[in-house]
Amino acid sequence: MTIIQILIIVFFTLLFSFIKRDRDLFLLIASVLIIFWLQPALPIRGFDFWIPTLTLIITIFSWYITTDNTFNRKNIFTLAIIASIILLINATRYFSFAQIFTPSRPPQIEITFIIFLIFGLVLFLLRKISASFLTLGLILLIGIFLILKIPAWTLWLSASLRGFVGQSVETVSALDIRWLGFSYVAFRLIHTIRDKQAGRLPSVDLSEYITYVIFFPAFTAGPIDKIERFIKDLRQPFAGLNTEIFFNAGQRLIIGLFKKFVIADTLALIALNDTNATQVNSTFWLWILVYAYAFQIYFDFSGYTDIALGIAKLIGINLPENFSSPYLKPNLTQFWNNWHMTLTQWFRAYFFNPITRGLRSWQKPMSMPMMILLTQVATMALIGFWHGVTWNFTIWGLWHGLGLFIHNRWNDFTKAKAAEWASTSFRQSILSVSGIIFTFHFVALGWIFFALSSPVTSWNVVLKLFGVN
């Protein structure tokens, strides 16, 4: 989001916060409108309209296969609101303000009607929901995620769509398909489907479900909330804005804006990238680029999180914290417990813990060190894949997976001796400071593979940092 977009969202949120009524309806409508408004322009004709529409269709389908409420009066009313908003946005193609909610002109409205009829027919045919549909939903989400994250698959889809709408495929690019917020949407949907399979999903209406999935402050950059916590806040009576909430939210917003648009954007001018990685040969200045990138990505991401938390506070929603001074932690485990905390917690709950339980119940016994190695490396590799299925993101994930394993074994080996040595507060401080410095530099070196697109370029930067040309 740009600073102008953020300020507009804050302005209208503030206006509503003084009304005190119909908060649920406001959050639903605002979230739907904003996912259309924020979707970036795409070269494929009409696709910047269809992507937000598909987000809503997939969300409704996910609710349908996980709910026991089916279509009561409230849920039908919600469906009518969603359909009306989509059709109204679609209808702007016939007016001069056609590009207010979509970057380009929406497609013909009759096509939208046909899509609605097909979707309605699918829901009708799936009246009796079975466990297999939950698995189907997971496969669908993972499939879309892989298509968006694997460049070759994205190129294939882009070429197919260009051919379908009669556009040239000569200029096809993986950037043709940028599905705003899908990574976070997919995590929320997978969370609800898996909790349904486990019998833990609370009963929610369609409006609550949609608002949770596409909640506009956290739609683009998180944090990844849990539906049971979010619904608890949503169902609390909204007393309106008071002085305490206003100052707390305002403070969070100002801090977030300063982090993102002052510190992060300034550091971005000198942060490591594909261009300066090959141009800079000085070891000293190369370290400066790496340090700049490490702090740039932190202030950028944590800044957006602060903005999301601040906006949410204005309307009585307390989103979970996502960062807690990660660069001041004395070891890698604590770093990941405080960096993008909601992502770490999600992978721990839905991947790490199930894999660990599966290995423990395996017929063939496995040593604890081997189990830790497999689970930590697999989890971090998957986190790398979440950012993109490329060699550099894979290496970055493996770097942290192996780092966590080595730290785990080293801690087991030296724990008693370290406790014995750190018998004074001064020695404890030395141990803590040295741990912070070492952990930060380990993370910073990992960011090299995250920031650059080529493993060769990344490795050359690592060599230059240590004076090897």
Q: pLDDT tens digits for 56-79?
A: 999 999 998 888 767 788 899 999
Tens-place pLDDT, residues 186-210? 999 999 999 998 888 888 999 999 9
- Mean pLDDT value across the chain: 88
Same structural domain, 279 and 164: no
| 278, 303, 318 - which closes a domain | 318
Would you state the pLDDT for residue 98?
A: 57
- 58 part of a folded domain: yes
Once rounded to an integer, what is the mean pLDDT over residues 301-317? 94
Rounded CA-CA distance 450/388 in Å is: 10
Mention every residue, 6+ apart, whose C-beta is less than 8 A from residue 49. Answer: 36, 89, 90, 102, 104, 106, 107
Would you state the pLDDT for residue 266?
A: 96
Asked if 398 and 373 touch (Cβ cutoff 8 Å), the reply is no
What amino acid is encoded at 233 in this protein?
D
- 174-204 b/e with 16+ CB inside 10 Å = b? bebbbbbbbbbbbbbbbbbbbbbeeeebeeb
- 296 part of a folded domain: yes
Would you state the pLDDT for residue 44?
A: 87
Same structural domain, 278 and 384: no
> 115, exposed or middle or buried, with CB in 10 Å at 0-12, 13-18, 19+?
middle
- 69 part of a folded domain: yes
* Residue 150 DSSP SS3: coil
| 188, 208, 235 - which closes a domain | 235
- 384 part of a folded domain: yes
Tally of domains in the chain: 3
Residue scoring higher pLDDT (329 or 113): 329
Same structural domain, 187 and 259: no
The domain in which residue 43 lies consists of 21-235
Would you state the pLDDT for residue 19?
A: 72
Same structural domain, 156 and 195: yes
pLDDT-derived band at 131 (thresholds 50, 70, 90) equals low
Once rounded to an integer, what is the mean pLDDT over residues 358-383? 83
